[in-house]
Structure 1
Amino acid sequence: MKRIAIYHLETLLMIARLGTFRAAAERLNTTQPAISARVREVELQLGVQLFRREGRRMVLTTRGRQLVQACEPHWAGLEQALMEASDFSGATGVVRIGSGEMAASTCLTDLVVEIQRDLPGVTMEVELDLTRRMVERLLAGTCDIVLLAGPVASPGVRTAPIGSLDLVWVANPAVARNHAAGTLPGVWSLPVQSPLHGETMAALDALPRAPRSVSTCNNVRTLIDVIVRGAGAAVLPEMMIREELASGVLVEVLPRPARRIHFEVGIRDREQEPLVLELFRRASALRVDPGAVG
């Protein structure tokens, strides 16, 4: 009988899921040479080639695909049984969490604190980016779970809603007075890849007069600072500027847009790793604004 260790199977399945030796090494907290050595050991034991290189990705051969398909349900069941036996407290590994900035400012911290408290053996790598790039990274296997402004309509991604945020047209008081006198200020928004940009442009279509300019900034906090300093007006999530509105640093200058920004948590549709599925379950209970309805 061929002597294949459990970590050999784990390695094969991780490469098959993520597509590269490098991604598998990062997930398994080891080195790329160690991953290559494990694959060679399995291929020598079985006497068959399991992977072939296509560009920068490693693709399963026919025999490799057959082996992975046969072993994956058993491996997933073993992982699930071991983690459930310890209530997931013994879970280990590296989990890569992607988030848009608006989601990060509202509910990402709650998820990170919960993971650190309940799953102390899990190492987190958190990265912020625009929605489109986060979805691309998720599909490429370089990210495991994402918190994003949605809806995310992408094949291969499984999502769950985590609430929505009201939007408000705001400016600083001086800009608001000029606007009341008939001077339409310039408008600021996130870049075109952001759902907030689309909501801003939809709101502009409802105005009787177009603004003199529409500028963009790819950082929400900087965008808020720009508006506070009097550079123009912007459509912003109400929750992120409640303090500024309460203190009078920012004021509403136009009726609130009817539409809201919706948020979702997403994983790969075919994700089978129990730890990622458990984090998806936990993240699905988050709300970007716990006091909001809808």
Structure 2
Amino acid sequence: MVDFKALETVVWIARLQSFRAAADKLNTTQPAISVRVAQLEEELGTQLFDRSSRALCMTPPGREVLDYAERLLRLRAEMLNAVADRSSLHGIFKLGVAETIVHTWLPAFLEQVSMTYPKLALEIEVDISTNLRERLLQQKIDLAFLVGPLSAPSVIQQPLCRFPLCFVASPRISADLGGGSLSDLARWPILTFARNTQPYVQVVELFSNPNLPTPRIYASSSLSTLVRMALDSIGIAVIPSEIVHEELASGSLIELDISANLPDLHFVAGWLGTPDRVTLEEVVAMAMRVVADR
């Protein structure tokens, strides 16, 4: 009898165009993947993959099996979501998260996931949004919370939240700035997100006027490092205000009143339209509830 594990294997081989990548995705070995395919081919009496070609491609019967496999897996996911006890769901869930979310509502979200799916193992990757997008497209992660919107047509996305960016500095630097013009700001290093991120690009564009001094930009992928440098009066940080709300409340950092405004950071949940996406959609809905309750 054809089992769902074999059908799932065929789907991931076709999606990832690689037996090895499918093995990594399914947390097994390449020989085990090959055995599953061979057993399914023997049971169906037909070849699913063309082994005469260097590039991995499916035979006509293989493409037909793939269509049925995706539909069956989708129906199975819908059935489990409708009637199964969520506490019994097990496996590994790979989540990619931008660091801004780590410092804001991620702990509350993880608590909800743990309560709803106590047997689900979470693997969390924290990285800049550019890298998370690539990891998602490569199907190295199942779901990403990152800066959007995303231009990749294969990615399903759901708006989650937005964070205003602000300029913050220590009282020492704030007292030195005078009127707080961009020229005044450029006398100090500007501390912000890593290169190839939206805030970094926006900061560069903000000081692109040839009449302004060229600022020194200190970029870091660690928000904790940026906050520490701002506290130590190394420079002026351009980060979401919510990241430093405690420092602003205590007066150890001061939000600078300048005329230039940077666009808010808009975060989305992004995932791919896989047959088992029902659980993903439920997890995203959970994240939206956590954000709404903040």
TM-score by length of 2: 0.86
CA distance in structure 1 between the partners assigned to 2:229 and 2:2 by the alignment = 59
Distance 1:206 1:158, change over 3 A: farther
Q: Which residue of 1 aligns with 2:86?
A: 88
Offset, 1:286: 4.0
Offset, 1:88: 2.8
1:259-292: CA deviation from partner (whole Å, max 9, x where unpaired):
2111111111x222132232233234342x855x
Q: Which residue of 2 aligns with 1:162?
A: 160
Q: Which residue of 1 aligns with 2:226?
A: 223
CA distance in structure 2 between the partners assigned to 1:92 and 1:29 by the alignment = 13
Q: Which residue of 2 aligns with 1:176?
A: 174
Secondary structure at 2:271's aligned position in 1?
strand
CA contact (8 A) 1:28 1:94 kept: no
- Structure 1 portions without partners, runs of 5+: none
Secondary structure at 2:32's aligned position in 1?
helix
Distance 1:208 1:221, change over 3 A: farther
Distance 1:130 1:60, change over 3 A: farther
Q: Which residue of 2 aligns with 1:249?
A: 252
CA contact (8 A) 2:202 2:262 kept: no
CA contact (8 A) 1:99 1:127 kept: yes
Residue 134 of structure 2 aligns with an amino acid whose one-letter code is E
Offset, 1:27: 4.4
1:213-233: CA deviation from partner (whole Å, max 9, x where unpaired):
122112111111111111111
Question: Which deviates further from its counterpart, 253-262 or 135-144?
Answer: 253-262
Question: 2:193 pairs with 190, 195, 207, which one?
Answer: 190
Offset, 1:99: 0.9
Q: Which residue of 2 aligns with 1:283?
A: 287
Question: 1:271 pairs with 265, 271, 274, which one?
Answer: 274
CA contact (8 A) 1:97 1:144 kept: yes
CA contact (8 A) 1:189 1:216 kept: yes
Q: Which residue of 2 aligns with 1:209?
A: 212
Question: 1:141 pairs with 131, 139, 144, which one?
Answer: 139
CA distance in structure 1 between the partners assigned to 2:210 and 2:266 by the alignment = 23
TM-score by length of 1: 0.86
- Structure 2 portions without partners, runs of 5+: none
1:11-39: CA deviation from partner (whole Å, max 9, x where unpaired):
22233344443444444443333222111
Distance 1:249 1:19, change over 3 A: farther
Question: 2:29 pairs with 25, 28, 31, which one?
Answer: 31
1:261 matches 2:259: no
Residue 263 of structure 2 aligns with an amino acid whose one-letter code is R
Distance 1:122 1:22, change over 3 A: farther
Distance 1:34 1:217, change over 3 A: same
- 5 Å-filtered alignment, 1:80-159, equals 80-159=78-157
Offset, 1:136: 1.0
CA contact (8 A) 1:188 1:232 kept: yes
Quote the RMSD (CA, aligned, Å).
Answer: 2.7
Aligned length: 286
CA contact (8 A) 2:188 2:215 kept: yes
Distance 1:215 1:97, change over 3 A: same
CA distance in structure 2 between the partners assigned to 1:19 and 1:278 by the alignment = 28
CA distance in structure 2 between the partners assigned to 1:153 and 1:284 by the alignment = 21
Question: Which deviates further from its counterpart, 80-89 or 34-43?
Answer: 80-89
Residue 136 of structure 1 aligns with an amino acid whose one-letter code is E
Distance 1:18 1:88, change over 3 A: farther
Residue 127 of structure 2 aligns with an amino acid whose one-letter code is D
Percentage of matched positions with identical amino acids: 28
CA distance in structure 2 between the partners assigned to 1:131 and 1:51 by the alignment = 35
Question: Which deviates further from its counterpart, 162-171 or 39-48?
Answer: 39-48
CA contact (8 A) 1:95 1:122 kept: yes
Residue 219 of structure 1 aligns with an amino acid whose one-letter code is S
Question: Which deviates further from its counterpart, 238-247 or 188-197?
Answer: 188-197
CA distance in structure 1 between the partners assigned to 2:98 and 2:227 by the alignment = 16
CA distance in structure 2 between the partners assigned to 1:61 and 1:108 by the alignment = 44
CA contact (8 A) 2:129 2:197 kept: yes
